Amino acid sequence: MILTIIVFILVIGLLVIVHEFGHFVMAKKTGVMVEEFAVGFPPRLFSKKIGETEYSINLFPLGGYVKMLGELEHSTSKRAFENQKPGKRFVIAIAGVVMNLFLAWLLFTIGFAVGMSPVVSDPNQIPGKVLSSEIIIAETAKDSVAEKIGLKSGDILLGASAKNETVSFSTASEVTAFSNRHKAQSVTFNYKNDAGTYEKNADFADIENPLGVSMIQKSIIRVEWYRAPYVALRETYEVFKLTFDFLGGFFMKLFSHGQVAEEVGGPVAIYVYTGLAVKAGIMVLLQFVALLSINLALINILPFPALDGGRLVFIIAEKIAGKKVVKEHIENIIHTVGYLFLILLVIAVTYKDIIKLFKK
């Protein structure tokens, strides 16, 4: 439990620091005065002023911020955020999202170079050496042979034998091919789960795919170092697409039915999954952090007040109109309202997570 808490804080801290570091660097590069770079939310635990910027570590680690001159209040200074051209403000606003995507890509690159299972890509389409491979049961069809011999979701198929053939499975296609070769025959399957290793006999019917399962191929693949960045970029893009589609469905359900999807988790869920990732090993933890970083990037780019995407909407509108469409103090009020809504949403999701946790 202590290890999970430490890793959880480190993971959240890394994601926040990377995101805010993007805003910080671009603000500095464009000449905007950064008053404070903070990790966590107040009350303040420690701070040190270096140059014109106060660097702070606060008590609550689930967040952080970069405070720029003229971001939330009016300023006549030429170095104030509000007095910069739209192009400069756009670059500063989007830098955090870019850094989170960069972090995900970097972690995937390291993972594939060392040896990692792809998150969404087909293992057979990745140009690398397969270090190990497992065939995991995703689902068993009702009244199928698989259900009758006790195969369940999460079980790992090891191999099978029939007549004079004995095979060890390394790909899902091998399971399908073996099953189709031995229609209307008696076969023996070997599989394992957390409880142990089993050997079960089964009688196949003379039908296509007689076993009756859907499978996931989990392969640990090592990619040559010069290919790893490209493979990681492709994996980042595919995860980004899937996450984008999921978030679209989430917000449609939220605003049309006022419901929070069961699949959505907040800080409690992240804590629970951090613990599982720690137990599963360093590579799974790297994948988990990469997935969180992509999620954070996508959430922040949404065109919603208080998020980076919300600020981008006002900047783009100003660029198109050639002047500020909404007065500064009105925009700040809109962002404040949006921030309060997000806090309520986090509370609702956290409440759901706690209820789900105690129901287990």
Handedness of CA 19, 21, 25, 31 (dihedral sign): positive
268 three-state secondary structure: helix
What pLDDT does residue 37 have? 94
Percent of the chain with pLDDT over 70: 88
Helices (H) and strands (E) in the chain, counts: 9, 8
CA 298 to chain centre: 10
What pLDDT does residue 95 have? 96
Is residue 135 predicted with pLDDT exceeding 80? Answer: yes
* CATH fold of 129-221: Pdz3 Domain (2.30.42)
Average pLDDT on 115-130 reads: 87
pLDDT band at 358 (very low <50, low <70, confident <90, very high): low
DSSP 1-44: -HHHHHHHHHHHHHHHHHHHHHHHHHHHHTT--EEEEEEEEEEE
- DSSP designation for 333: H
What pLDDT does residue 256 have? 64
Residues 326, 310: Cα–Cα separation, whole Å = 13
Domain limits, CATH 2.30.42.10, in the chain: 129-221
- Cβ contact 80:33 at 8 Å: yes
What pLDDT does residue 262 have? 54
What pLDDT does residue 350 have? 64
Q: pLDDT tens digit string along 251-289?
A: 666 666 655 555 555 566 676 767 767 777 888 889 989
Q: pLDDT tens digit string along 281-314?
A: 888 889 989 999 998 899 889 888 878 888 899 8
Q: pLDDT tens digit string along 47-97?
A: 999 999 999 998 877 778 899 998 878 888 999 998 899 999 999 999 999
- Cβ contact 27:89 at 8 Å: no
Average pLDDT on 136-162 reads: 87
pTM: predicted TM-score of the whole model, two decimal places: 0.80
107 three-state secondary structure: helix
What pLDDT does residue 217 have? 80
Angle at 176 between CA 211 and CA 238, to 5 degrees: 115
